[in-house]
Structure 1
Amino acid sequence: MMNSLEIFSWFEHLYIVVVLIFVIGILASGKKSGSIMAWIFTVLFIPIIGIILYMVLGVNWRRRRILKNKLENSPHKMFVSLSNELAKNELSKYDTRDIFSSYKDNVERTDKYMRDMEDHSDVAKLLYNTGSTYLTLNTSYDFYFDGGEAFDSIIKDLENAKESIYIEFFIWRSDELGERVKDVLIKKASEGIDIKLIFDGLGSFGRISRKYKKALEKAGIKYRYFLDVRYNILKLNYRNHRKMVIVDGNVLHTGGMNLGQEYIDGGKQFESWRDTNIRITGEMCVHYLAVFISDWLNSSGKFDFIIPEIEDSSSGDYLMQLCASGPDTIWSSLQMLYTKMITEAKEEILIESPYFVPDDSIFEQLKIAALSGIKVKIIMAGKPDKKIPFWVAETYFEEIIDSGMEIYRYQKGFLHCKNIIIDGKLATMGTCNFDFRSFELNYEINTVYYNKEMAGKLREQFFEDLKYCTEIKNEDLDRKGFLLRLRDSVFRVLSPIL
């Protein structure tokens, strides 16, 4: 019979074998190099817990989707069977691209619009090839840089709904704003309006009261949780960060704002909240509806939608394109979009994001742009809602400053908008932060504006925000002690998995 020392030695050797197996699995996972190094670091230096974390949070869903597609196209029955097995463990079953492809005239429209474009047609081609999204002409838009104005506009459109209301938010709270929206929804439901709501399984977890949900159910309002963490802990690390309100299929509200009172007044944590939303009428509405439908179906909802025809917006002045991606999409479309936009710049790159945690490739492109004489200005949150991304961002500051970029922290409340403006002519705004989580782990959605007027308005707001910022200088970095720098660097190594 083994004594306690021998048993310990046996378990020690078994653990080493298990760790080696996991390290080999991580190396062969197909993840990006930064993510591979972060997971190996976690498994090696956080005994047992690191392995459990990888089992729960480390699945490469994008590789599974690629493998499934390859197997489905294989003539061999064995591969098709394996594809079906993979499908059982997918993050999402329904692909937005399949819904886009059902609109057969979109390809012709996009080809025509692309021929008429003066600049940035390569950006449009990239989004079409990575996400099958089409160029759209739109008849009107309004930007909102204040939460109160944005939600007043949303509620007004909800009150005027005639057929359908489809809403999706990462965070939905049953607070003062949530009650206002609920009251309108219940009234519209009594008028026979088709209403469907999507809450993120983690972002809205514990934020909607039971009484609130019962009121929705009693009114006949359908709602679903996307990736409900109560039933599948393996999907805990993946979040639907998208935000959209679609009314009658012809009015769209989208941007950085969630449904919570803090987006109007800053809440208890901040004196104010700076964000960006947009209201759009035109072809883009139906394209967002396609994303909503796929998210609804992936949340176990049924396909019973009121789908409008795509109206002819050939008289519209505003050329836009949707860009959506997630952890299981074949391409990291939004990361590719941000990278491509940076390489398109000739004079100026303006970035606003609460967090700045880029991967090495996109950070290299920013440094190349700055060292080539292009003006690069970055605004991030100066008063953080999360400590770790704030610390990690500081590890980039020295290279940012040395390469000639300018980095600012917004001090008037919390900055939450996600905007990129290139040369005052091309811009994107939406839900995607400038960080690894948004690029690789979240379901995100942005709109690209191929319009000088729209880009100009976002640029004008950027410089208005700059008035409430402090610029980070080299001397500010010198004040930070060794232990704090070490802490920040450790979290930077782990950032691809946080």
Structure 2
Amino acid sequence: MNENQEKPNPQVLPSKPRFQRLKSIRQWYVRWRIYFVVVMHILGALSSIQAIMSTRTPQGATAWAISLNTCPYLAVPAYWVFGRSQFDGYDHLRHSKIAADSKTAQNAIRELSEKGMLFTPMTELERSQQRLLESIAEMPTTRYNDADLLINGEATFAAIFDRIASAEDYILIEFYIMRSDELGNKLKDALIAKAKEGVRVYVLYDGLGSKDLPNKYLQSLNDAGVKTAGFKTTKGWGNFTRVNFRNHRKIVLVDGKEAFVGGHNVGDEYVGKHPTLTPWRDTHVAIRGPVVLEAQVTFVEDWRYATGETLQLTWVPERAPKGDVRALCLPTGPADPFETGTLLLLDLINTARDRIWIASPYFVPDTQFVSALQLAALRGVDVRVLFPENNDDWLVDLTSYSYLDELGKVGVKFYRYEPGFMHQKVLLIDEGLSAIGTANFDNRSMRLNFEVTILLHDTDVASKVQAMLEADLKKSRQVAAKEFTQSSAPFRFLVKTARLLAPVQ
């Protein structure tokens, strides 16, 4: 070899084994990338078949089928989290197929008829509407009830704590959100005190809504003899991705004689202590009479799903001390065979003759509700929608602008409640029908959440609801369609884009 010729540097050239390892890694990467692509497209195809077969709306099925086959890498995990619309494994104690577990509840409903506590409609129109509502609720319309309107948190929780203090047999507590703050600790102390007196206490909370509730809080309740349970929507084999469902109900029930239902959760913000959204505007209703047993059925069903236990409670229907309010408790949710929340609202809108006043923090109606509200306005019904000026959900706030022109041009009036945050869920229909509950006017409450609504048919109750909403309207500003139509093009684009996401809001 020529002495002037440079020798190769062994440290620069890769060794043969190292080169082979790099080559093997590349081959492994390419091979598994191919496997991943093939598997994801197979899962996308299979998932799209399920979406077509099970998604409740054609639009939703079409959107999922296209996305699952064109971009399965993102769509498959999204579908298994957000795409499921049916909640399996939840037993309705109202169904005859499990009559052995619900015998006491069914006997109580049968006893309502024997004691003359059921409402008998006088006209064919009343009979038709009542038949539909009772089919949704799977419970009858009762009479001899009375109801107190509870406006805002201080009045609501004062009434709840007073009733808890007088409990003699049992207390049922169910909330979507429970916090370990001042209000939450006050409730905990009140329940512990009653448990020490021998009163049975059951506390049910949503596993996702109350995810920040510390174990220490629950342990202190358990140590005092209070039974607690989380409503976990992922319960059951193969349901680990079922996180898009919620138990959004808020029920307090004492001794089978009085119940409280409405928009309040357990948190300091609900009594006016939110750092930015105070004053907090919300509404609850206290009910007495045979309708309380229907609310009790709702709690018992939820408790049975969460724990497998059927509670032994009082099922003796009693007339309210005063009043003859016609009332019906309507539990709705994704475990129902139909979209019961949707059917309920559509029926109320379609049968309204004079007025429909809607108060909801999240007003995100889908196409069928938009059409129903347009038809109502065109036939001369006074349609008003009240929602907050300051919303805690910016996406919902953006979406609400998209309805101003579409509904405003047929006469629907929009109002933005200005002080603080309005969280109430209230409907006022015609002269004597009002609905107070937990359901918002959005896709989530109609299709994904377990909700409960108390329907009250009484002119005195309706007049109080009217006075309450009129006071709210005086604190609101009417919104014109030009706030959307004359806004900037980028803002209108954002609004329309936000509306595309309405099904998951």
TM-score (norm 1): 0.87
Flag the 1:138–1:55 CA change in 2: closer, same or farther, 3 A.
Answer: same
Aligned to 2:205: 199
Distance in 2 between residues matched to 1:356 and 1:41, nearest whole Å: 28
Structure 1 counterpart of 2:472, one-letter code: D
Aligned to 2:445: 438
Aligned to 1:223: 228
Q: Is the CA contact (8 Å cut-off) linking 1:131 and 1:324 kept in structure 2?
A: yes
Match of 1:29 among 48, 51, 54: 54
Aligned to 2:387: 380
Task: Check if 1:274 corresponds to 2:294.
Answer: no
Q: Deviations over 1:405-424 (max 9, x none)?
A: 11111111111111111113
TM-superposed CA distance for 1:449, in Å, is: 0.8
Match of 1:209 among 214, 222, 231: 214
Q: Is the CA contact (8 Å cut-off) linking 2:205 and 2:230 kept in structure 1?
A: yes
Structure 2 counterpart of 1:148, one-letter code: E
After superposition, where does 1:54-93 map in structure 2 within 5 Å?
54-61=79-86, 90-93=88-91
Q: Percent identity?
A: 28
Q: Aligned-residue CA RMSD in angstroms?
A: 2.7
Is there any run of 5+ residues in structure 1 with no aligned partner, and where? 63-89
Aligned to 1:131: 137
After superposition, where does 1:333-348 map in structure 2 within 5 Å?
333-348=340-355
Distance in 1 between residues matched to 2:261 and 2:314, nearest whole Å: 19
Match of 1:146 among 152, 158, 171: 152
Q: Deviations over 1:36-56 (max 9, x none)?
A: 244346546765122112123
TM-superposed CA distance for 1:177, in Å, is: 0.6
Distance in 1 between residues matched to 2:125 and 2:468, nearest whole Å: 23
After superposition, where does 1:372-451 map in structure 2 within 5 Å?
372-451=379-458
TM-superposed CA distance for 1:212, in Å, is: 1.4
TM-superposed CA distance for 1:261, in Å, is: 1.2
TM-superposed CA distance for 1:210, in Å, is: 2.4
Distance in 2 between residues matched to 1:179 and 1:330, nearest whole Å: 38
Distance in 2 between residues matched to 1:110 and 1:355, nearest whole Å: 39
Structure 2 counterpart of 1:160, one-letter code: S
Q: Is the CA contact (8 Å cut-off) linking 2:136 and 2:330 kept in structure 1?
A: no
Deviates further, 106-115 or 480-489: 106-115
Equivalent position SS for 1:113? coil
After superposition, where does 1:213-362 map in structure 2 within 5 Å?
213-227=218-232, 233-312=240-319, 316-362=323-369
Q: Deviations over 1:351-398 (max 9, x none)?
A: 100011112112211001112222111001211111222222222221
Q: Is the CA contact (8 Å cut-off) linking 1:266 and 1:413 kept in structure 2?
A: no
TM-superposed CA distance for 1:13, in Å, is: 6.0
Distance in 2 between residues matched to 1:204 and 1:110, nearest whole Å: 41
Flag the 1:10–1:163 CA change in 2: closer, same or farther, 3 A.
Answer: closer
Structure 1 counterpart of 2:253, one-letter code: I
Aligned to 1:168: 174
Structure 2 counterpart of 1:405, one-letter code: V
Structure 1 counterpart of 2:298, one-letter code: V
TM-superposed CA distance for 1:115, in Å, is: 3.1
Distance in 1 between residues matched to 2:124 and 2:326, nearest whole Å: 12
TM-superposed CA distance for 1:239, in Å, is: 0.5
TM-superposed CA distance for 1:30, in Å, is: 4.2
**Which entry has the higher C-alpha Rg, 1 or 2?**
2
Distance in 2 between residues matched to 1:321 and 1:179, nearest whole Å: 32
Distance in 1 between residues matched to 2:458 and 2:440, nearest whole Å: 22
Q: Is the CA contact (8 Å cut-off) linking 1:143 and 1:277 kept in structure 2?
A: yes
